[in-house]
Amino acid sequence: MSTQSLYTSLIFIRRLRGELLFFFSDVPNFYLPNMFRLNSSLLLIVIFVFSINVTIGTINESVVDNIEHLFSLWTMPCSQWLNVFTNDAVWYHPKFPEGLQYNQLLDFCKINQLTKPALFRQDGQIRMTISGHTNSSSLYHVMVPYVYGQIQNENNSSLFINSGFEYVQLVNDYENRIRINRVVEFFNRASLPFVWPPNN
């Protein structure tokens, strides 16, 4: 939970307490016994709000780490890159509409890493929704804008650009770690002819 969120929550609780005290100020014999109950109730609310925000903060951090890992396709060993997925993960891609199963993702990574130079990067903020669940986990749905670029030397040295969205579904695995379970890639593509300067 950020300092700003905690501060905002405490201000809200303080205002709520003031409103309740004003509302009950004319009630006979309210002040002493009921004041303790009011303060206790407000303390429980603060603890509840704080624990929810801490949990959400932990989930958000884990999701962000997974997305950064996903976009490290060209910058880490493929065996390490594969660790971000569950054992039943599937990546649906326009070139592979039937989906790449978990046991195919290692080869997918190796083939992509042979294509250099190339760039695969997140290109905007994550949009996350928590909705639905499996037998043991909530489902975390993320839309991530991305850009991919590749120099195609076999095609008159053109620059291939691919941008779009990665839809990513994440779940808690058997170790209670959030991992990627589904990826669906949507993109627009363009190939731009370009004469590369010498020595570049």
Per-residue pLDDT tens for 105-153?
999 999 888 877 788 898 888 888 877 666 667 788 999 999 988 876 6
Task: Give the Cα separation of 141 and 4 in Å (integer).
Answer: 26
Say how far apart CA 197 and CA 195 lie, in whole Å: 6
SS3 state at 33: helix
What would the pLDDT profile of 45-67 be if each residue is shown by its tens digit? 555 554 444 444 456 788 889 99
What one-letter code names the amino acid at 14? R
164 sits in the region (left: phi over 0; alpha: psi -120 to 50; else beta) called left
By DSSP bridging, strand 158-172 and strand 138-152 are antiparallel
Instruction: Enter the tokens of residue 121.
Output: 């990067």
